[in-house]
Structure 1
Amino acid sequence: MGYPQDTLSADEQLVLHRHPHFKTLILPFVALVLLTTGAVLAWQWSTRADISDTAATVVGIAAGALWLIGVLWLFAWPMLRWATTHFVITDRRVMFRHGIITRTGIDIPMARINTVQFRHGLIDRILRTGTLIIESASDDPLEFNDIPRVEHVHSLLYNEVFDTLGEEESGRR
């Protein structure tokens, strides 16, 4: 069993599991392309330039080291951050988990959710993403950015909250 299945209780049902929208990975991919292009150009220059073999080796090693550091910092780290960020809706709660070294998470029981809203601008509407805003009984509203298909998630979450409230009212009678 993988995440989030291993975090659910025995009779809890998974409704939705999302990572942030792919738009969060556009800049890391651009950085990868630019870093790789720069490293290749530096290496080609060092092999063709009228410089000593030692200088060419130093330029090659420096270009490779800068490329590696840049790829780890500007590409690999954001990819790991994206892969370890989870927005999960079950029939009982909303879960949000993120972090690589230090994990952070929040669970919001369905019965405590008062308001569910979404917000997205023109670019977000084109990309079918946006911000989901959940207001619970005791806390300030929580904003979850870059949720894919935010309108669908909003209506799905609203239906889950409505179903939970219906179950509580029928259980009280």
Structure 2
Amino acid sequence: MPYPDKLLADDEEVVRHLHPHWLTVFWPIVWFLLIVGAASFGAAVIPDGSSQGTWRLVLVVVAVVLAVALVVVPLLRWRTTHYVITTHRLLFRQGILARHGRDIGLSRITDVSYRQSLWDRIINSGTLTIESAGESGATVLKAIPDSDGVQQLLNHMIEEDADRRAQENAGYIRGEGDGDGWHATRQF
């Protein structure tokens, strides 16, 4: 699913749109299988009698509550977490009902580093730490698929953004800005 264009500037394009690594949904899937198996087994061993329907209903309610807590919520959390690299910025969005996010202009990023444990290297995942100019501090993005490739892509995009800005400023200084000639009031 592409990232909504309404969140992008006119000349901005999505370069890479990521969710956390797919293995973050491994345990919810395991929990789903265990809950379904245990509920099925439990329903089968409930003895016949007048209260059999009540016990099965209780079993189904418990299974549904466990499935929502251990399966649905983590899957929704994975699906609603977005890491988006565009030609101008890095966007981070997270949350199911309440959402929070951060946009960091590529020109404000001062350092991009990644960390991988042995397990992360095996599954090709890792943690990105993005330092940016300002008071917000470092942004840590966990469970990034291909974290070393994403780090290299971000560094490449930062260089391209700096080149694009330099060309825009050079064109503007030469009087090619917006077609109106020299603009002495423009600030860089």
TM-score (norm 1): 0.92
**Aligned ranges 1:1-173 → 2 under 5 Å:** 3-46=3-46, 49=47, 51-54=48-51, 56-138=52-134, 139-173=136-170
Tell me by how many angstroms 1:169 deviates: 3.7
SS at match of 2:129: strand
Corresponding letter in the other structure for 2:25 = L
Q: Deviations over 1:132-170 (max 9, x none)?
A: 110001132110001111111110000001112233344
Tell me by how many angstroms 1:58 deviates: 2.1
Aligned residues: 169
User: Quick check: which has more Rg, 1 or 2?
Assistant: 2
Which stretches in structure 1 are left out of the alignment for 5+ residues? none
Corresponding letter in the other structure for 2:151 = H
Tell me by how many angstroms 1:2 deviates: 5.0
SS at match of 1:53: coil
Distance 1:153 1:4, change over 3 A: farther
Contact 2:21 2:145 (C-alpha < 8 Å) held by counterparts: yes
Residues in 2 aligned to 1:71 and 1:20: alpha-carbon distance in whole angstroms? 21
Corresponding letter in the other structure for 1:162 = E
Contact 2:114 2:148 (C-alpha < 8 Å) held by counterparts: yes
Tell me by how many angstroms 1:172 deviates: 4.5
Corresponding letter in the other structure for 1:112 = R
Residues in 2 aligned to 1:169 and 1:76: alpha-carbon distance in whole angstroms? 47
Contact 2:127 2:144 (C-alpha < 8 Å) held by counterparts: yes
Residues in 2 aligned to 1:145 and 1:132: alpha-carbon distance in whole angstroms? 6
Residues in 2 aligned to 1:164 and 1:12: alpha-carbon distance in whole angstroms? 11
Corresponding letter in the other structure for 2:77 = R
Contact 1:42 1:59 (C-alpha < 8 Å) held by counterparts: no
Residues in 1 aligned to 2:160 and 2:112: alpha-carbon distance in whole angstroms? 14
Residues in 2 aligned to 1:160 and 1:2: alpha-carbon distance in whole angstroms? 19
